[in-house]
Amino acid sequence: MGTDRHRGGHERVPGLVALLGCGVLLLSACSSMPVTGDVKAVDASQPGDSQVQVYAVAPRDNATPEEVVDGFLESMTSDDPGFRTTRMYLTKKAASKWRPSAFTTVLTKAPNRSDRPFRDRDPGVTDVTYTLTGEKVATVDAQSAYQPLAPTDYNQTLRLVRENGPEGKEWRIDGVPDGLLLGQSDFKRLYRSVDKYYFAAGRAEARSTLVADPVYLRSRTDPATTMDTVTQAVRSLLVGPTSWLRPVVRSSFPAGTTLKKGVTSLTPDDRNVLKVPLSKKADGVGQRSCRMMASQILYTLRDLTSARVEQVELQRSDGSPLCVLGTDQAEEFAPDGSSSGPDSQYFIDDKGHVERIPGSTKGSGTPETVTGPLGHGPVRMGAVGVARDEQSAAAVSRDKKALYVSSIVSDGELPAASVTSKAANQNDRLSVPSWDGRGDLWVADRDPGNRRLLRLAGGEGRPEEVSVPSLDGRIEALRMSADGVRIALLVTQDGHTTLKIGRIERHGPETDQQVSVVELRQAAPQLTDVTAMSWSGRSRLVVVGKEQGGVQQVRYVQVDGSTPASGVLPGVNQVSSVAAADDEQLPLMAATSSDGIVKLSPGDNWQTVVKQGWSLVYPG
């Protein structure tokens, strides 16, 4: 697990070897164990090429209890097929019962082993118990779903006994918890985040849109299944969505569909066509359903393979083609609801009017005032949210008291306020509004006497209150996902504002739905105060916040609460709002009190776009 592991002052036992059989430039082409090359002892946590295969070493004869414990922990970080070598550190009974795939516990660093074991009996016939300690920061369950945790103490015991072996009695671990125990560096080396895709539930098939469901899979071959990452992803997709997302999505694959028995590797051919053999459960599906199934696979594998998958061919159990779908044909199911998505930016100018930066300029164009009363009307606005079709917008007055909805492409009078807050204090009134991918408008009224989360179906009519049964605190800000099934909330409680993600459940016909936000979960537990956030793609957010005692930073977080390796962005001062698009290639925008509106393009530094302006947003 690495040089950061401290085993009570003992030297670490080299328990892993790496077999290097290809040159650096050829590592990605290695598909089997090399038969030539050097055998080197390695530190499993050392940074390096992810294609280097790391294998566990069996316990030596007459290994001490300390060596057995250290070797067992080290071997969990290897690419040991079936964890066969790892199980050699266990008694026969424990080896048969241990389930390494049950879940994974992630610690800040590799676990510490107690320096001195606890001996229950006389040293000659004793059982020996070691204590493993550390700081737990996350778990990954059997569905490969990541769950971040506020750092908590980890404490677990390993019991060793003497068991008869070929060379006499050997120390082996008899009491061991299920699952793997990894430090963060090992976890990041061994696993990668993959977005599976399912369809939003409760929508007509003609308006189906895909929803990202992030999981963590092995970066190389999974020791438990011997499947490569592509095959792991397809298998996980077929198993179904994670428990948190399952109530609001559906799969087009018939229940019980699996890969054809014996399939452990899926590789695109020289025409970038990926052939996926399925079990009998899928043999009779129609062409429309089959195309939807293929689109789920195409989007799931989009970022996985070095040779881009341009086409998916699903096959029946007898090997005959079921259907074929190309990437261009899959655009009708795009997760953002369209092939391109909105790309203009909108903000409030110093006169309280809504202005637009044309999308074709990628944030560098000359702002233009929008058409209609939000661009030329008598009411000074303080915040804006623009519908994803860019035909209408919702703006909150400068005093945050009233919400107005109006066209931004045609002239007319400013309509009556759609929502009005009765709070006496301006900062207790309406939040910045946000539109979901279904065309519904959302806003929070922060009135201490009547706190409400409100939804206007289609942006029109009477606002309906949305229940948030697990909410403990006050909603300060909200942003809707493009898929319409998730909401990001900034919630203040006990003097701190944190980022939470909720699942949006809808019951009843579309004309009369009962809507609620359930199972709120932390998305950035490492940040004790978050001041701004925005969705940035299909399973990622950009947030502005501080760690305990730290300074303001802008960083990316995954919707499941994990942090990408390149999560921290270049610094920018006094950010009041941040905006990102569904298309991750479009610039990140921010409104600051010191530099006005600034943008950050991929591979560039922050640049000032407009000196005066605030409440910057992309449509949504």
How do residues 559-583 score in pLDDT, each as one tens digit? 999 988 777 888 888 899 999 998 8
Rounded Cα distance, 251 and 43, in Å: 41
More confident residue, 20 or 25: 20
Decide: 364 and 337 in contact? Cβ < 8 Å: no
Domains belonging to the chain, first-starting first, are: 345-617 (2.120.10.30)
Instruction: Give the whole-angstrom CA distance, residue 490 versus residue 481.
Output: 14
Q: Which of left, alpha, beta for 250 (phi over 0: left; psi -120 to 50: alpha)?
A: beta
* pLDDT band for position 361 (cuts 50, 70, 90): confident
- The average pLDDT across 201-226 equals 86
Tell me how far CA of residue 216 lies from CA of 80, 144, 500, 566, in angstroms. 18, 5, 20, 17
Q: Which of 172, 204, 193 is nearest to 94 (CA)?
A: 172
Q: Tokens 């795009």 — which residue?
A: 334
Q: What is the mean pLDDT of residues 76-88?
A: 94
Q: What's the CA angle centered on 146, arms 145 and 149, to 5 degrees?
A: 140
- Residue 18 near residue 123 (C-beta atoms within 8 A): no
Quick one: what percent of the chain has pLDDT higher than 70? 88
pLDDT at 206 (0 to 100): 55
Tokens 């019980």 map to which residue? 256
Question: Pairing between strand 496-507 and 486-493?
Answer: antiparallel
**Cα dihedral value 428, 429, 430, 432, nearest 10:** -50
The pLDDT, as a whole number, for residue 28 is 29
Reading the block at residue 314, the tokens are 């699903």
Q: How confident is the model at residue 196 (pLDDT cuts 50, 70, 90)?
A: very high
To the nearest 10 degrees (0 to 180), the angle between helices 229-239 and 287-300 is: 130
Strands 180-183 and 104-107: parallel
State the number of CA atoms in the 13 A half-sphere of 330 facing the CB: 26
First to last CA, the chain: 44
pLDDT tens string 491-541: 999 999 999 999 999 998 877 889 999 999 999 888 989 999 999 988 999
Tell me: the pLDDT tens digits for 148-177?
998 899 999 999 999 987 778 999 999 899
The continuous run of DSSP H or E covering 75 comes out as helix 65-75
Amino acid in the structure at residue 18? A
Q: In the sheet that 53-56 helps form, which strands lie side by side, from edge to edge? A: 39-41, 16-19, 53-56
Task: Please state the φ and ψ torsions of residue 164, each to the nearest 5 degrees.
Answer: -65, 130
DSSP letters for 238-296: HH---TTTGGGEE-SSPTT--BPTT-------TTSEEEEEB-GGGTT--HHHHHHHHHH
Half-sphere exposure of 16 (CA within 13 A, CB side): 25
Tokens of 78: 């290897």
Decide: 553 and 529 in contact? Cβ < 8 Å: no
Give the model's pLDDT for residue 220. Answer: 87
pLDDT of residue 559: 94
Query: Is the CB of residue 569 less than 8 Å from the CB of residue 578?
Result: no
Structure tokens belonging to residue 63: 């290994």
For residue 3, the model assigns a pLDDT of 38
> Taking 60 as the threshold, does the pLDDT of residue 17 lie above it?
no
51 compared with 11, residue with greater pLDDT = 51
More confident residue, 543 or 220: 543
Rounded Cα–Cα distance for residues 416 and 433 (Å): 16
Cβ within 8 Å of residue 1, ≥6 positions away? 44, 45, 73, 74, 76, 77, 110, 111, 182, 183, 185, 186
Confidence of residue 47 (pLDDT cuts 50, 70, 90): very low
Whether the per-residue pLDDT at 336 is higher than 80: the answer is no
| Mean local confidence (pLDDT), 93-106 | 95
Q: Which of 163-172, 196-205, 455-464, 520-529 has the highest mean pLDDT?
A: 455-464
Please enumerate in sequence order all residues whose Cβ is within 8 A of that of 261, keeping only pairs 6 or more positions apart, or say none. 279
Of residues 467, 411, 403, 397, the one with CA closest to residue 435: 403
The mean of the pLDDT values for the chain is: 88
DSSP secondary-structure letter at 78? S
H helix and E strand count, the chain: 7, 39
Neighbours of 71 (CB within 10 A): 26
DSSP summary character for residue 464 = E
- Of residues 509 and 301, the one with the higher pLDDT is 301
Of all residues in the chain, what percent carry a pLDDT higher than 90?
A: 71
